[in-house]
A and B are shown apart, each in its own frame.
Chain A
């Protein structure tokens, strides 16, 4: 309890960086091509609002969030 399960699909990612604006502790981008990098696979549930916002804003639908 108290954790989220976050999954990223790098093949879908378009490198918009919106997830990093929304949740900078959880997402980053690769320097060379801007593709998403997951910094924290099972972040604390307290970060749920910003992580869900990142998933909703992602224009490529490349972020999946589940409560674990």
Chain B
């Protein structure tokens, strides 16, 4: 017989950790929930940070204070977890305290990769404030990395009348995710807005400071000069604090299909590398949607009424007037079939296939039609003809 744990410690107080706590209470759990977060701010939503300027915490809080109080949490904010002891069942805190648990959820997210000489990254509200203050007095900005975050920052900064240069080692923006043809279309979208690209270039060195500006050396010997520079070259799962624990770590916390890393220990959100039975492989998904869904799934696991977690991943990105959305899995090595769209390529829906099977669908300014295409995921190519009717 499984019994419900009396004390649950959730390490990480962002979207995934908050979703666990919220769902536990929603399902009637009345035990002790400790929600531990390294940031001092109450749980908030991160995607708006790269999409809008001058954001206030009240606009993006995951719960207002009344709701947060009603959840009756042992909130440990501004307090960093530094270790996990799975024998004595405690989370060790930076200030020496210990938080005891009967079940623990690891939801520590991911940390942005830093580039020497570049002091701006974007992950937290504090990061966003630093970037905002720099951009307020910058005429030009260099963004290193043309992934989702770099592209969103390009649209945001170009809308603030900055001269924007985006640098990436790949031949096109988001190329390693979307493939060459969609990446080319995305490049055109940004160039039409005034963004400049230096592609196929790695950064060899960065010199400068916020007062005097920066000089970024590129692998072809060229340079980019800019008043501000932001690194957006991806994240690593935040597992450093687990190094002395016996929790299995390999590109995140390795979990089974129930998001369980070991007895009594679960993971959710960006940090979880779990086995998704729908696709038959382990995956780690740094998407906002996954944080909520996986958090809710883990809460139900904790209450012994969980099901294997087999979502169709979803992400969206807003880049200027472009709304790009993806259900399922897409990749540069996959075959692409056009499902719908307008002839001028302002709107379209694509299917991405691997070995004849549809694994993902992408919508370019075509959200409603994309939703209707989602049921194709997991179906063979032949299903497309029926769907089109």
Chain A residues at the B interface, C-beta cutoff of 8 Å: 14-18, 20-21, 29-31, 33-34, 52, 56-57, 59-61
Report whether B289 and A16 are in contact in the complex, using a CB–CB cutoff of 8 Å: yes
Q: Does B293 contact A (CB under 8 A)?
A: yes
B residues near A31, Cβ cutoff 8 Å = 368-369
Which residue in chain A gives the minimum CB-CB distance to B321? Answer: A33
Determine chain A's interface SS by DSSP, over half rule.
loop
B residues near A21, Cβ cutoff 8 Å = 371, 374
Q: Does B239 contact A (CB under 8 A)?
A: no
Contacts A33-B323, A56-B22, A59-B47 given; does A15 touch B292 at CB 8 Å: no
Contact of B367 among A29, A52, A56, A60 (CB under 8 A): A29
Report whether B368 and A29 are in contact in the complex, using a CB–CB cutoff of 8 Å: yes
Q: Considering the chains assembled together, what is the distance between the CA atoms of A30 and B369 in angstroms?
A: 10
A residues near B47, Cβ cutoff 8 Å = 14, 59
Tell me how many residue pairs across A and B have CB atoms closer than 8 Å: 58
A residues near B323, Cβ cutoff 8 Å = 14-15, 33-34
Which residue in chain A gives the minimum CB-CB distance to B367? Answer: A34
Contacts A56-B292, A59-B47, A59-B289 given; does A16 touch B22 at CB 8 Å: no
Q: Does B314 contact A (CB under 8 A)?
A: yes
Q: Considering the chains assembled together, what is the distance between the CA atoms of A57 and B23 in angstroms?
A: 11
Shortest distance from the beta carbon of A2 to any chain B beta carbon, whole Å? 21
Report whether A15 and B45 are in contact in the complex, using a CB–CB cutoff of 8 Å: no
Report whether A18 and B314 are in contact in the complex, using a CB–CB cutoff of 8 Å: yes
Question: Can you offer 15 A-B residue contacts whose CB atoms are under 8 A?
Answer: A15-B323, A16-B289, A16-B314, A16-B316, A17-B370, A29-B368, A29-B371, A31-B368, A33-B367, A34-B325, A34-B367, A56-B23, A56-B292, A59-B47, A59-B292
Q: Does B199 contact A (CB under 8 A)?
A: no
Report whether A16 and B325 are in contact in the complex, using a CB–CB cutoff of 8 Å: yes
Which residue in chain A gives the minimum CB-CB distance to B327? Answer: A17
Contact of A17 among B45, B293, B365, B371 (CB under 8 A): B371
Q: Does B92 contact A (CB under 8 A)?
A: no
Q: Considering the chains assembled together, what is the distance between the CA atoms of A56 and B374 in angstroms?
A: 20
Shortest distance from the beta carbon of A45 to any chain B beta carbon, whole Å? 16
Report whether B368 and A18 are in contact in the complex, using a CB–CB cutoff of 8 Å: no
Report whether B22 and A61 are in contact in the complex, using a CB–CB cutoff of 8 Å: no
Contact of A57 among B293, B316, B368 (CB under 8 A): B293
Shortest distance from the beta carbon of A47 to any chain B beta carbon, whole Å? 16
A residues near B325, Cβ cutoff 8 Å = 15-16, 34
Shortest distance from the beta carbon of B271 to any chain A beta carbon, whole Å? 18
Other than the known A15-B325, A34-B323, what 15 A-B pairs have Cβ atoms closer than 8 Å?
A14-B47, A14-B316, A16-B289, A17-B371, A18-B289, A21-B371, A29-B368, A29-B371, A52-B26, A56-B19, A56-B292, A57-B289, A59-B292, A59-B316, A61-B45
Report whether A57 and B292 are in contact in the complex, using a CB–CB cutoff of 8 Å: yes
B residues near A18, Cβ cutoff 8 Å = 289, 314
A residues near B296, Cβ cutoff 8 Å = 56-57
